[in-house]
Structure 1
Amino acid sequence: MNFGIYVEMQNPEQYKKPHAQVYREILEQIEHADKRGFSTFNTLEHHWFEEFSISANPMALYSAAAQHTSNIRFRTCSHVLPLHNPMVFAGQAAVTDILTGGRFEFAVGRGHAWVFPKASIPLEESRGRFVESLEIIEKALEEEVFSYHGKYYDVENVRVVPRPTKKPRIFTGGASNHNYELAGKKGWGVLITPMLPLEHVLGQLDIYRKSCKEHGNTPDIVYVQALYLDDGGERARKEAEPYILQFMKGNVSPAKELPPKEEMIKKDFGFYASGALESLADIPYQKLIDDEYVWVGSPDEIQPKVKKVIEACPDLSEIALLCTYAGMEHWKTIRTQDLFSQQIMPHFQENKEEALVRY
């Protein structure tokens, strides 16, 4: 079993840090995670909503971190394709692949409904732009010269340079069943977000496995889990409460700028009209722990939870741990990495070289 690190880079007003400090601390956390044997560093691409994330250019972050690390891979969860010119994105992805020594991989997504007004992109264009961008990026990474004729992009004899050392691994995820069907068809991996317990997404994973089987592909599942560790379980649960509650609040904070519900339903964003996302911020802290939205406790308490997820989810290739929270001291993230890598990881990862072989 592989174990990674996931960071959202939330920076709410209540716990605001200088942006440069946030990035310095994240770079130190990546370097430390590499030394402790974590397989991947994961973050998202998100713009304009600081309480949610200030991770506006993950490929630049990876390129910087790669200069101070040796083994850890870098994965975006995910790039919002409708925001990008796909011919330009493909070249940037190739540069990132080169500068990270082939350690770059990424997930693709249509994006949250709230980003499109800020980007001056009509909501109804997001699906079509996503589909065309994805088709172009795949062509650009696989073919020396390509042409494409669609509704939003019309190009002839384009050659993206530089060329990547190899085509990066691709993932997807999110709330749409369509994404899981597409991932199975394409042979991609899927990412389970840190906002939901595993049992909430088992149905979508079944869709993914069925699609993989129909198209002759092997399932590859990455499960992202929020975590807070301390030597003492009671102390961990007491300390973590404000960080966990702010994490949930930050994830739903942009919802206050969503378009009207009628418009979202009409334009293929029904999930955001349902109110399901906003309800996550109202879940009491103890219920978040009891229902395993988050893992909070000592290593001895968390180890069985890791085992439970591994046993409950065939085809699981990695658990990526979110252990950086707004308002929390930097050293506490380092402590969680240390405790997990020293007291939990060895029980599920007997041989580091074997764990990394699929990469």
Structure 2
Amino acid sequence: MGNRIGQSDSGIVLVRKALAKPGAGVLEATRMKFGLFYLPTYLPDQRDAHTHMHNIVEQVEYADKIGIDYVWMVEHHFVRHGGFLSANYAFLSYLAGRTQNIRLATGATVMALNDPVRVAEHAATLDQLSNGRFDLGVGRGFIRDEFDSFGVPMRESRERVEEGVDLVRKAWSGQPLEFESRFRPDMSGLPVLPPTLQNEPKIWNACLMSPESFEWTAQQGHNLLYVAYHVDHELATERISWYREALSKYGRKVEDHEVCCVYHAYFMEEPDDDRLKVVVDGPMGEYGVAGKEAARKPPDPEAYKGYDQRDKGTQQLSFDRYFPGRVVMGGPDQVVERIHELRRIGITQVSFLLDFGSLSQDEIMKSLNVFGDRILPLVRDI
């Protein structure tokens, strides 16, 4: 087998120069990280998929240049709520060739809808092509139409995620794979190719409402990807504490694990709440409507405890309801203060949902420019 990051050859650890970027290798527990999270609203009457996809490419290329650490790509199917990112590995592979340093993460792979062997193959290919910049984010999914269309019972989603992640990790070992599965044909001694470039890419589990998800994430030693804008700041604080307390319960060091939280974001040269509302209120409402459409068929209430809270929050998505405690928005001083507030509750990465509703490319790029010039230098080392 060829050399992999973290493996040694004649006692020398091989690390590509391209991987000197923070985030690849040992966790830098003292430095806050920042990402872009993509769950865009498909509005074909305002911009077609081709235009929107290439707008995202422009955003990510700029984010890479200014030093943003991560880009996350959702997986959804059939719906306006992120549905044109149905092939997120293909999109991330394209971004791998257009960027140098930014880490590329699925946010998340819906493990219940995917063959874990294919996930391992896609992930390893992307890891190789990106020179070891890939992170695997996984989740259960919540859209009933997706499960029905792929013929997967929603009640099996948790078990499919847990077994699927276990299979992926074994596949990444590079050894012939022996695995007995409840949900796919057993593997009997075949290697899964290609291997990853990293010894093992970081794994993040996406959590929303279910306490069991936070518990399992900590038990397995995975990092936490939390879509925090569905709840107020106090509940977000509580749920992050669930994860951190569970890490200690299972004998894991809190400082060795990361917490990424996702928030809608918009950055301005100067604070102006009235103008901010004019710019983002309509697009936030459009985002909320698309989310409500996607969740029009509720998931199994026993398998998805707490999702009724998510639905209520999405229906009421508006600037007045979400600002300031469920977003990261405003002028530089406001945003810096908000990031410090998030850092204090244990968040190690804030990922910005900048592309939502019909917010224009011009507004998104202006917002990114303000973040890079006026905000990032003040929060990079907190």
> Which residue is equivalent to 1:249?
289
Compute the displacement of 1:284 (Å). 4.8
**Range with bigger deviation, 275-284 or 177-186:** 275-284
Report matched runs for 1:144-155 at 5 Å.
Answer: 144-153=175-184, 154-155=186-187
1:183 is matched by which residue type in structure 2?
A: T
Report matched runs for 1:18-33 at 5 Å.
Answer: 18-33=48-63
Pick the aligned partner of 1:57 from 76, 82, 87: 87
Compute the displacement of 1:299 (Å). 2.0
1:54-81 CA-partner distances (Å, limit 9, x unpaired):
2111111111111121110011111101
> Which residue is equivalent to 1:127?
158
Partners of 1:191 and 1:128 in 2: CA distance: 19
> Which residue is equivalent to 1:6?
37
**Structure 2 stretches lacking a partner, 5+ long:** 1-31
Partners of 1:81 and 1:283 in 2: CA distance: 28
> Which residue is equivalent to 2:112?
82
Partners of 2:310 and 2:221 in 1: CA distance: 29
> Which residue is equivalent to 1:340?
371
Task: Say if 1:7 and 1:80 are closer, same or farther in 2 by CA, change over 3 A.
Answer: same
Compute the displacement of 1:156 (Å). 0.9
1:151-207 CA-partner distances (Å, limit 9, x unpaired):
223221121011111211000132222221122122211012143344222222222
1:265 is matched by which residue type in structure 2?
A: P
1:30 is matched by which residue type in structure 2?
A: V
Pick the aligned partner of 1:329 from 360, 363, 382: 360
2:128 is matched by which residue type in structure 1?
A: I
Normalising by structure 2, report the TM-score.
0.83
2:330 is matched by which residue type in structure 1?
A: G
Pick the aligned partner of 2:195 from 160, 163, 167: 163
> Which residue is equivalent to 1:349?
380
1:160 is matched by which residue type in structure 2?
A: V
Kept in 2, the 8 Å contact 1:252–1:278? The answer is: no
Compute the displacement of 1:143 (Å). 4.2
Compute the displacement of 1:3 (Å). 1.4
Partners of 1:276 and 1:208 in 2: CA distance: 19
Partners of 2:41 and 2:83 in 1: CA distance: 4
> Which residue is equivalent to 1:91?
121
Partners of 1:79 and 1:200 in 2: CA distance: 25
Partners of 1:284 and 1:216 in 2: CA distance: 38
Partners of 1:44 and 1:122 in 2: CA distance: 21
Partners of 1:139 and 1:122 in 2: CA distance: 25
Q: Secondary structure at the match of 1:226?
A: strand
Is 1:196 equivalent to 2:231 in the alignment? yes
1:216 is matched by which residue type in structure 2?
A: R
Kept in 2, the 8 Å contact 1:12–1:250? The answer is: no
Task: Say if 1:222 and 1:177 are closer, same or farther in 2 by CA, change over 3 A.
Answer: same
Compute the displacement of 1:333 (Å). 1.0
Which structure features the higher share of helix residues? 1
% identical aligned pairs: 21
**Structure 1 stretches lacking a partner, 5+ long:** none
Pick the aligned partner of 2:257 from 198, 211, 219: 219
Partners of 1:53 and 1:198 in 2: CA distance: 28
Compute the displacement of 1:137 (Å). 0.8
Task: Say if 1:306 and 1:79 are closer, same or farther in 2 by CA, change over 3 A.
Answer: same
Compute the displacement of 1:127 (Å). 2.8
Partners of 1:219 and 1:199 in 2: CA distance: 21
Is 1:236 equivalent to 2:268 in the alignment? no
Partners of 1:17 and 1:289 in 2: CA distance: 27
Compute the displacement of 1:129 (Å). 2.3
Q: Secondary structure at the match of 2:76?
A: coil
Task: Say if 1:61 and 1:256 are closer, same or farther in 2 by CA, change over 3 A.
Answer: same
Aligned residues: 341
Kept in 1, the 8 Å contact 2:73–2:85? The answer is: yes
Compute the displacement of 1:283 (Å). 4.9
2:152 is matched by which residue type in structure 1?
A: I
Partners of 2:333 and 2:238 in 1: CA distance: 30
Kept in 1, the 8 Å contact 2:267–2:331? The answer is: yes
Q: Secondary structure at the match of 1:222?
A: strand
1:195 is matched by which residue type in structure 2?
A: H
2:193 is matched by which residue type in structure 1?
A: V
Kept in 1, the 8 Å contact 2:262–2:351? The answer is: yes
Is 1:265 equivalent to 2:305 in the alignment? no
Partners of 2:121 and 2:330 in 1: CA distance: 43
> Which residue is equivalent to 2:348?
317
Is 1:176 equivalent to 2:207 in the alignment? no
Q: What RMSD in Å do the two structures reach over aligned CA positions?
A: 2.0
**Range with bigger deviation, 205-214 or 166-175:** 205-214
Compute the displacement of 1:104 (Å). 0.7
**Range with bigger deviation, 302-311 or 28-37:** 302-311
Partners of 2:181 and 2:356 in 1: CA distance: 42
**Range with bigger deviation, 156-165 or 175-184:** 175-184
Task: Say if 1:136 and 1:338 are closer, same or farther in 2 by CA, change over 3 A.
Answer: same
